[in-house]
Structure 1
Amino acid sequence: MKRERVKPDLTIYNSLLACIAEEGLPLEAWAVIDDMIAVGILPDRQSYHHVLHASRWSPLEATWETLEKMVDRGVPPNEQTYALIIKRITTTEGVELALQFMHEMAKRGFTSDLTATQDVIKLAAHLNFPRLAIDIAQNFEAHSVRRIDSEAWISCLVSSAELFYADGVQKCWEKAIHEMNLTPDEGTCIAVLHTCARHGLADLATDVIRVLRSIGVDWQEHHFAPLLEAFARVGKLKEAFGTLHLLRSNGIVPLPETTQPITDILKGDVDAVDGVWKILDELRDEGHTIDAAAINTVIEASIALGDLQRAVGAYKAFREYASKPDVETFNHLLQGCINTCHRELGDKLLLDLKQANVRPNALTYERTILLCLTQPTYEDAFFYLEEMKAQKIVPPLRVYDAIIRTCVVAGDSRYSLALAELEQCGYTLSRGLIRFVAANRSSS
């Protein structure tokens, strides 16, 4: 064109700048600007926007230099200028600076660009500022006919859930799932469930369980544990016990940790323990199967309250509810026997365990051994230790610790054998045990 003396116009130059900007070539963009000025064509606002876009991968100083050039040339920034600047800032995770420019836009009467706003929202959520992200999103939608996209709202939901921000989780779940009909993934649902458990959001947790089923996720124990905790935290024990029935009906075996929130509530008040039977009676009359885990919470709470008699009474109630005790039932009761040194009851429980065809686990053997060690004659502790090893169960360190301490105090030389076995199992002697053996062995 120049060779044929055809003078390029502003449109031609801006087209060249657009091409260069797309490739991210700031030096070439400034060369075109210089050429424009040399032939007497003044760059307009769009020209400088192309330069800003071309500098998106350059240090942030290049953006400020372009802004200064615009001001020097008498080209004031507009909404698009600010949008390009904010988008550039968000790539460096400068959320405070981005907010500063958004505030400056508002002072000048400009409406924030949707894309730039969404970038700031997602950045704030990524940097663990969910409250800020949600406030920006709600403020934008309150003053604009346009709406924040689904990705930004899901980012706010995930960020809120990861920080257990209950208010944010509730707002974002309602917005994303119910208003926008979005489908969260399983990871997001689990994070929301954890927040529900922490803050007792039972209704929301129930809705999350529904969504999990709707997206084709097979229900698992770790899905229901937060739901049960949410019920327990707000005192909805009937719903919590009903959840145990729901687990079992879906082929899920409740773990001891699953029912721990219920136990934590019950063991704080004897009246709460007694009130459980009314709830269980109601559930039974409504046709629900009373799970063994439900009665186990009463037993464990009674043991924690130091009431072994109440715990045994709960154990005898299994037949009334057409339920059967499991290994956790006997483990809780054995702990009560240890606390009261009641070896006779422990022996009866072990007999019941065998008659019920319940397979003892490592904790059963451990507590049986510890119960034997509470007696003046503790020979059976070694018998159960050998039986434990015969079942291919490695005795835990605390078993050896208790055996060694008992033998040392009694002057029983078999403590040295226990010490040798302890080391063979790969355990390390604690300083406290070393000092105890040294102090008591000499006195014995």
Structure 2
Amino acid sequence: MRPPRRLLIQADGLRRCLCPRLNDVALSRSLLTSPRNLSSAAAAAIVTPPVDPPPVYAAPPRAPTHSRPTPVPPTALPPLEQISRLASRRSPAVFSTASLLVASGALAPSLRLYEILIGACVVGGHGVSLQATAFSLLDDMCARGIVPNANVYTMLLRLLARSTDYVRRARVLELMQQRWFEVGEQAWGWVVLGYLKDCQVEIALEMVVEREERGWEVGRWVYKALVKRLVELGEVQEALRVLRRIEGEFGGLVWQGVMRPEGRSRMWWELLVKGAKDMNIEVTRYVWYKALVHEAPLPMFTPSLGDCNLVLNCAARHSDASLAADVLRVLTEEGLPLSEHHYASLLEATASNSPTKCFSILSHMRSIGLPPTAFTAQPLVLHLSQTKSATDAASTSLLDLGGTADLAAVESVLAAYCALGELDAAFDVYTTIAQLTSAMPTTHTFNILLAGCAAAGEKALALYTLAEMRGMQVPPDQESYDAMVRVCVNACEPDAEGVERPWDDDVWTWLEAMKLKRWRLRRKSYELLAIGCAKRGDERAVKVVEELARIHPVGKVDALRAEVGRKLVWVKGREGREGR
């Protein structure tokens, strides 16, 4: 007997659940056969049992990794506590929230409320941008009859510590004095910072000194801000005095809890750089030796090449040879390259103390492959040219060296004699140059002698110098021709007795020779030539001025042109009077 169709359908469904592959077979058959007509009565009798959805298994709850209390929403707190929490979180919504709570009547204005809001203006990280808001709150609470306490005024002084509004600062201090509120240590420090921000350093120093004299404590953070501001304003002497008094025998230990060791090093470094820039030798010397020599066990900081150059220039300006030598020592130890200008600064620092050491420095430069240039020994020349006795002593020192002197040392003595107008002594040194140095004279050596001849108008000695150059096969350069032009012009000047000498036309020969070599006269030489021609009524002075204006267009020649014109008119008028 065949089972009923209902049971067959149920059994078929059970098989499909147990064997899902039958679903694919049924689906393929349904695609091949035509769909059944469900509109018939037999088909309508077939009722498919409802299929229950598969159970959904929820994942078990995860154990909490840490125990954190459930945060209380701000709206569930009392209104004043809500404002306090917003202020502690530095939320900008603290002011709008307080305004809404007060407007709705949920919160009444009180001293605590204003204290919280003014404190939010101070510690909100907004700087002085909320300064107007804080003082408007102060005015509002005073208008409501709420008397501010000392904490409110202290917070206002803290807000004004980075402001230049000295009017409001004076107002707060006056209100505190009227209410007999004492200015605490921190509030006093903020007042000092406010004066420093306003560049009123004298008032800040007076306050610090007065507090020290009374035996009251001064915060180290106040000293830190004071020193920093003094350095920024260029008061390096006062900054050094404050630092020496603070550190005393404890050194950097006094700054513990105020700033890190690198902060202290930076403070001393800024003082060194500012002192060197201002050419303050006392501050520069003290900070240099304290930071790099006396500080134990390691230097406070390592100066850069630029810092060393600043200190070296300061030492050279004040003739501190020991400091200059120590700077070169630090540069050598750090492996930084030494250049010619470093030794030039060392020469400037040593010249006024010991010219003989300068000769040794010049020899050392050439031995290390850094030969002196034409301007390296210029500080030595300036020192020797002050008195003839100093130049004579330097000349004697050259003889004592026994022919081991550098050529630059001999040239410095020659230049000093020429600057003093002692041409005879200069040529005496030149004739014994073989006994002073093993080097041969160069073009620069002869140019020094020619410049001395040009200044004195000694044409005979100048021609002798040119003959020596030809004999030693030393070629002249542009400076040599320029000196010869000046020699010819100055040789025509009146002698010591006032007797005028005839004009030397060789000056035009030297000028044309320079033009053939595409060389140019210096501006001073052009001016000297133009004035010399105008004094003798030579109309070529006008052409010299025009040529000067064309070759050196940077400088103005109007004054020279007017002077040449006046001299030409005066000479023509004198000739006319003599002709009558």
Q: Which amino acid aligns with 1:52?
A: L
Q: 2:279 aligns with which of 150, 153, 164?
A: 164
The 5 A counterparts of 1:241-280 are 241-252=359-370, 254-280=372-398
The 5 A counterparts of 1:9-158 are 15=88, 20-21=121-122, 22-24=125-127, 25-26=130-131, 45=151, 49-55=154-160, 56-57=162-163, 59-68=165-174, 75-142=181-248, 145-147=253-255, 149-158=264-273
Q: Does 1:379 align with 2:379?
A: no
> Residue 345 of structure 2 corresponds to which residue in structure 1?
226
> Residue 448 of structure 2 corresponds to which residue in structure 1?
332
Q: CA deviation at 1:136?
A: 1.4
Structure 1, 159-168 or 64-73: larger mean CA deviation: 64-73
Instruction: From the superposition, tell whether residues 388 and 187 of structure 1 become closer, same or farther in structure 2 (CA, over 3 Å).
Output: same
Once the two structures are superposed, what CA deviation does each residue of 1:304-340 show, in whole Å capped at 9, x if it has no partner?
3333222112223333311232333222211332355
Q: 2:570 aligns with which of 431, 439, 442?
A: 439
> Residue 363 of structure 1 corresponds to which residue in structure 2?
479
Whole-angstrom CA distance in 1 between matches of 2:174 and 2:83: 21
Once the two structures are superposed, what CA deviation does each residue of 1:337-380 show, in whole Å capped at 9, x if it has no partner?
23554333322322433565655444322211122232646233
CA contact (8 A) 1:10 1:43 kept: no
SS at match of 1:23: coil
> Residue 55 of structure 2 corresponds to which residue in structure 1?
none
Structure 1, 297-306 or 252-261: larger mean CA deviation: 252-261
SS at match of 2:254: coil
Instruction: From the superposition, tell whether residues 333 and 69 of structure 1 become closer, same or farther in structure 2 (CA, over 3 Å).
Output: same
Q: Which amino acid aligns with 1:53?
A: R
Q: CA deviation at 1:301?
A: 2.0
Whole-angstrom CA distance in 2 between matches of 1:211 and 1:103: 38
The 5 A counterparts of 1:165-184 are 165-178=280-293, 179=295, 180-184=299-303
Whole-angstrom CA distance in 2 between matches of 1:310 and 1:434: 40
Instruction: From the superposition, tell whether residues 249 and 437 of structure 1 become closer, same or farther in structure 2 (CA, over 3 Å).
Output: farther
> Residue 306 of structure 1 corresponds to which residue in structure 2?
421
Q: CA deviation at 1:421?
A: 2.3
Structure 1, 81-90 or 422-431: larger mean CA deviation: 422-431
SS at match of 2:301: coil
Whole-angstrom CA distance in 2 between matches of 1:419 and 1:412: 12
Q: Which amino acid aligns with 1:59?
A: D
Q: CA deviation at 1:232?
A: 1.3
Whole-angstrom CA distance in 1 between matches of 2:565 and 2:173: 72
Instruction: From the superposition, tell whether residues 61 and 186 of structure 1 become closer, same or farther in structure 2 (CA, over 3 Å).
Output: farther
Q: CA deviation at 1:294?
A: 0.8
Size of the aligned set, in residue pairs, is 439
Whole-angstrom CA distance in 2 between matches of 1:189 and 1:326: 34
> Residue 204 of structure 1 corresponds to which residue in structure 2?
323
Q: CA deviation at 1:197?
A: 2.4
> Residue 342 of structure 1 corresponds to which residue in structure 2?
458
Structure 1, 47-56 or 434-443: larger mean CA deviation: 47-56
The structure with the larger Rg is 2
Q: CA deviation at 1:158?
A: 3.1
Instruction: From the superposition, tell whether residues 231 and 330 of structure 1 become closer, same or farther in structure 2 (CA, over 3 Å).
Output: same
CA contact (8 A) 1:199 1:233 kept: no
Instruction: From the superposition, tell whether residues 9 and 43 of structure 1 become closer, same or farther in structure 2 (CA, over 3 Å).
Output: farther
Whole-angstrom CA distance in 2 between matches of 1:354 and 1:23: 80
Q: CA deviation at 1:266?
A: 2.7
CA contact (8 A) 1:389 1:395 kept: no
CA contact (8 A) 2:415 2:448 kept: yes
Instruction: From the superposition, tell whether residues 106 and 401 of structure 1 become closer, same or farther in structure 2 (CA, over 3 Å).
Output: closer
Q: CA deviation at 1:98?
A: 1.4
CA contact (8 A) 1:408 1:441 kept: no
CA contact (8 A) 1:405 1:437 kept: no
Instruction: From the superposition, tell whether residues 340 and 2 of structure 1 become closer, same or farther in structure 2 (CA, over 3 Å).
Output: closer
Structure 1, 396-405 or 276-285: larger mean CA deviation: 276-285
SS at match of 1:151: helix
Q: Does 1:239 align with 2:339?
A: no
CA contact (8 A) 1:366 1:395 kept: yes
Whole-angstrom CA distance in 2 between matches of 1:268 and 1:139: 42
Whole-angstrom CA distance in 2 between matches of 1:268 and 1:75: 68
CA contact (8 A) 2:453 2:487 kept: yes
Whole-angstrom CA distance in 1 between matches of 2:322 and 2:434: 33
CA contact (8 A) 1:244 1:254 kept: yes
- TM-score, normalising length: structure 2: 0.65
Q: Does 1:397 align with 2:523?
A: yes
Q: CA deviation at 1:131?
A: 1.7
Q: Which amino acid aligns with 2:201?
A: V
SS at match of 1:80: helix
Q: CA deviation at 1:240?
A: 1.4
Q: CA deviation at 1:141?
A: 1.8
CA contact (8 A) 1:233 1:261 kept: no
CA contact (8 A) 2:534 2:564 kept: no
CA contact (8 A) 2:265 2:300 kept: no
Q: CA RMSD in A?
A: 3.8
Once the two structures are superposed, what CA deviation does each residue of 1:232-282 show, in whole Å capped at 9, x if it has no partner?
122x11211222233334554545544233223333444433332453355
Q: CA deviation at 1:189?
A: 2.9
> What percentage of residue pairs aligned between the two structures are identical?
26
Q: Which amino acid aligns with 1:218?
A: P
CA contact (8 A) 2:324 2:346 kept: yes
Q: Structure 2 regions of 5+ residues with no counterpart?
A: 1-73, 89-115, 256-262, 493-501, 576-580
CA contact (8 A) 2:363 2:405 kept: yes
Instruction: From the superposition, tell whether residues 6 and 291 of structure 1 become closer, same or farther in structure 2 (CA, over 3 Å).
Output: same
SS at match of 1:131: helix
Structure 1, 18-27 or 77-86: larger mean CA deviation: 18-27
Q: Which amino acid aligns with 2:421?
A: G
